[in-house]
Amino acid sequence: MKFRAIMGALCAAGLMCGVSAVQAAESVEVLHWWTSGGESKAVGVLKDDMQKQGYTWKDFAVAGGAGAAAMTALKTQVISGNAPTAAQIKGPLIQEWAQQGVLVNIDSAATDWKKNLPPEIDKIMHADGHYVAAPFSVHRVNWLYINKAALDKVGGKVPTTWPEFFAVADKMKAAGIMPVAMGGQPWQDLTLWEDVVLSQGADFYKKALVDLDQKTLTSDKMLQVFDTVRKIQGYFDSGRTGRDWNLATAMVINGKAGMQFMGDWAKGEFANANKKPGSDYICAAVPGTEKAYTFNVDSFVFFQQKGQSAATPGQLALAKTIMSPAFQEQFSLYKGSIPVRLGVSMAKFDDCAKKSYADEQTAIKSGGYVPSLAHGMAQPDATAGAITDVVTKFMNSSQDSKSAVEALAKAAKTK
Ligand code: BGC
């Protein structure tokens, strides 16, 4: 048999198809929780890029905002010896997985990353001095989205303080518009609560949620945080139990509700519905947080594959693609975030993304750039989970602020 014929036969048998075709045979299984309209479009860019490079994309999407369900599925997969090629993991959880000895380093795909990433983010992508994670983009969490027509209808102005916020909410209520669209999962409760913590100042936020300082956690200001959250709850509808974040966003998009507290993945939904900032909706910093910025950086980690000691070509291609300037731009345009890679042009981005970028630069300089607790950037999983339980219990009962503060201080000691 001639060489070509042999190769053809092997290839037909699915064994060996020449160098580029060998790559074509590698399938990359990718575990993520990007399932809403905007999120799917964004992850679709990665899928297309990988397919263009000859890889087969095996989608392992586990629905559920902020990834709690995805993280449970991931643990089962890894324990049963079926680790995916890559998984959406972020913040301190990257280290926790690296300590299990199940990740591969992707240094050879990351030769120019150091100079192209903000130092605090570059650090998070490392374990034991090696790159083990690839960053997608920067989401700002402390946003308030407002339906423009609803605001205009009640003659309200964009609130910059809590009294102004309650004034607008009262006007909306009086006009028969549901003031605040709220979803009903623990992470959504924590997202709102950390916004209110931030409104007491970035230093307060850092002392409370990054340093877990007991004095700050039990302070009068923390009592006020719970009181304010309780007051905001008075503007929710009664149907929020189990509601997904994107359904709450849809209520603001279609004018059923006036406002939503949510990170800027919500902007991906507005964009997907062809809504424009300024004319259809407004993105404003959460009242009292204009100068601060809670960051949330999505990333993928790469699991050691059966029979492989190092990263596979598919894993390195994924990492390279994620950090490439063209991907960084298109992904964030769909996702609502801003590129994490430094120097990517913001020309094609909308005014909300431009504001996010400008506010990020200001916050980094002023010390107002803080990691989001609700989105896995500030604390190890166990601590974040214990605090989430306290906040969720408070928001789903009639518990008083004082006993919630006591429970919070105790939960913060969870390791
Ligand atoms: C992730 C986002 C995602 C959001 C809602 C956040 O924790 O960082 O990428 O869009 O959850 O699922």
Q: What is the pLDDT of residues 206-226, one digit of tens each?
A: 999 999 999 999 999 999 999
The mean per-residue pLDDT over the stretch 110-115 comes to 98
Q: Each residue of 144-184: pLDDT tens digit? A: 999 999 999 999 999 999 999 999 999 999 999 999 999 99
- Measured in Å, residue 245 CA sits from the centre of ligand 1 at 10
Q: Is 406 helix (H, G, I), strand (E, B) or coil?
A: helix
Which residue's alpha carbon is nearest to atom 1 within ligand 1? 66
To test ligand 1's pocket by mutation, which of 143, 145, 265 has the most ligand atoms within 8 angstroms of CB?
Answer: 265
- pLDDT at 2 exceeding the cut of 70: no
* Domain range summary for the chain, segments of one domain joined by +: 15-140+295-339, 144-294+372-411
| Residue 25 binned pLDDT confidence (cut-offs 50, 70, 90) | low
139 lines ligand 1 (CB under 6 A): yes
pLDDT of 66 > 90? The answer is yes
Q: For residue 265, give the ligand 1 atom closest to its CA.
A: 10
- The type of residue at 212 is L
- 265 ligand 1 Cβ < 6 A: yes
Atom of ligand 1 nearest to the CA of 375: 7
pLDDT at 306: 94
Separation between Cα atoms, residue 138 and residue 124, nearest integer Å: 13
Q: What homologous superfamily is domain 144-294+372-411 in, according to CATH?
A: Periplasmic binding protein-like II (3.40.190.10)
CB proximity list for 182: less than 8 A, separation 6 or greater: 188, 192, 233, 236, 237, 240, 243, 248, 260, 261
144-294+372-411 and 15-140+295-339 share a CATH fold: yes
Taking 90 as the threshold, does the pLDDT of residue 404 lie above it?
yes
- pTM metric for this prediction: 0.94
Distance of CA 313 to the CA centre of its chain: 27
Ligand 1 atom with the shortest distance to the CA of 38? 10
pLDDT of residue 284: 98
User: pLDDT tens digits for 365-397?
Assistant: 999 999 999 999 999 999 999 999 999 999 999
Given 3.40.190.10, 3.50.30.50, 3.40.50.720, 3.30.365.10, which CATH number is that of 15-140+295-339? 3.40.190.10
Name the residue with the closest Cα to ligand 1, atom 4: 66
Helices (H), 255-300: 265-272
Q: Rounded to an integer, what distance in angstroms lies between the CA atom of residue 380 and that of residue 204?
A: 20
